[in-house]
């Protein structure tokens, strides 16, 4: 179940087995599964198991002499970094713990891309933007949308807009999500404002008046609609555009050209 990424089922089964025989190896894998399960739920916005995550870190620390612990170095490192990153969103000490812990990983573990990605996330969240950016630069950002997004965010955080545009143009995967597009548009807006509208229309095929703003997956999400007042808003800035011929008119007074994709803001709440 664990290898199939069914962590909740694996956690329940392993807990039951451990209650029966109290073997240390089963306890270890039970901790692995429960940490993965809670971390997955954390990404979905369920933060109620904070105290349990802290307890699981402590339990994992006590098993560092276990043979299975040592032979699963990559998994152990990933769980530590992922868990302390999640806790570090609200408590800086866990980010600092993760950054320090990374220094003691073996060279073999440090060569793993996922480990370096998680380490860079911790650095970035802790304010070490330049160091995190350098790590992202060495990862496979040209074909991985998640890494590309973090790389662009670092560029934008350092006001390096021209480089951010360049990074987007060198991204060569067919997987281009709305968040990546939004980051690119933010870079274009500040680097080449005159061509921003053309870039917006090229990416989204239409534009409209800001109708609503709501929360989605921890990011500011903005839905844009066309209106005669013609004001665009995305990630904290606005600009006016020329009125274009609408496709149709809705009863409540909104003129629609084409409903765009949803733009995702790049600042984590």
pLDDT of residue 234: 37
pLDDT of residue 5: 55
Residue ranges of the chain with per-residue pLDDT less than 70:
1-7, 18, 196-269
Q: Which domain holds residue 188?
A: 174-269
pTM for this predicted structure = 0.73
**Taking the CA of residue 265 as centre, how many other CA atoms within 13 Å lie in the half-sphere pointing to its CB?**
20
Does a structural domain hold residue 35? no
Does a structural domain hold residue 235? yes
pLDDT of residue 189: 84
> For tokens 């870190």, what's the residue?
57
155-175: burial string, b at 16+ Cβ within 10 Å, e else: bbbeebbebbbebbeebeeee
Alpha helix positions (H), 103-177: 107-110, 113-125, 129-137, 145-157, 161-170
Q: Do residues 187 and 181 make contact, with C-beta atoms less than 8 angstroms apart?
A: no
Q: How far is CA 120 from CA 40, 117, 137, 257, in A?
A: 19, 5, 10, 41
Alpha carbon distance 116, 137 (integer Å): 11
Which tokens sit at 86? 């999640």
> For tokens 């980010």, what's the residue?
95
Alpha carbon distance 163, 134 (integer Å): 13
> For tokens 């950016």, what's the residue?
133
> For tokens 């500040």, what's the residue?
190
Which sign, positive or negative, has the C-alpha torsion 163, 210, 220, 202? Answer: negative
Q: Report which of 172, 121, 166, 118 is spatially closest to residue 145, judged by C-alpha positions.
A: 172
Does a structural domain hold residue 184? yes
Which tokens sit at 1? 């179940």
Does a structural domain hold residue 168? no
159: left (phi over 0), alpha (psi -120 to 50) or beta: left
Does a structural domain hold residue 198? yes
pLDDT of residue 174: 83
Does a structural domain hold residue 247? yes
pLDDT of residue 262: 31
- Residue 185 CA, chain-centre distance (Å), reads 18
Angle between helices 113-125 and 92-102 (to 10 degrees): 140
Domain count for the chain: 1
Does a structural domain hold residue 77? no
Does a structural domain hold residue 208? yes
């Amino acid at each position: 179940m664990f290898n199939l990424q069914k962590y909740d089922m694996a956690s329940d089964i392993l807990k039951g087995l451990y209650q029966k025989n109290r073997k240390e190896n089963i306890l270890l894998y039970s901790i692995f599964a429960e940490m993965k399960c809670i971390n997955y739920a954390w990404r979905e916005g369920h933060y109620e198991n904070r105290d349990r995550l802290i307890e699981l870190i402590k339990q994992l620390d006590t098993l560092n002499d276990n043979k299975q612990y040592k032979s699963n170095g990559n998994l152990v490192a990933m769980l530590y970094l992922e868990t302390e990153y999640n806790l570090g969103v609200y408590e800086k000490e866990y980010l600092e713990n993760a950054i320090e812990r990374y220094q003691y990983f073996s060279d073999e573990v440090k060569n793993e891309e996922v480990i370096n990605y998680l380490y860079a996330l911790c650095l970035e969240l802790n304010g070490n933007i330049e160091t995190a950016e350098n790590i992202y630069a060495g990862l496979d950002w040209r074909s991985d949308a998640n890494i590309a997004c973090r790389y662009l965010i670092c560029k934008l955080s350092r006001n390096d807009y021209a480089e951010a545009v360049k990074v987007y143009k060198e991204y060569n995967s067919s997987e281009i999500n709305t968040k990546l597009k939004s980051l690119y548009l933010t870079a274009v807006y500040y680097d080449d404002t005159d061509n921003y509208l053309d870039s917006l229309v090229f990416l989204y095929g239409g534009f409209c008046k800001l109708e609503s703003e709501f929360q989605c997956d921890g990011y500011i999400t903005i839905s844009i609609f066309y209106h005669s007042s013609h004001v665009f808003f995305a990630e904290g800035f606005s600009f006016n555009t020329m009125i274009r011929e609408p496709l149709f008119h809705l009863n409540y007074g909104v003129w629609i050209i084409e409903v765009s994709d949803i733009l995702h803001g790049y600042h984590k709440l």
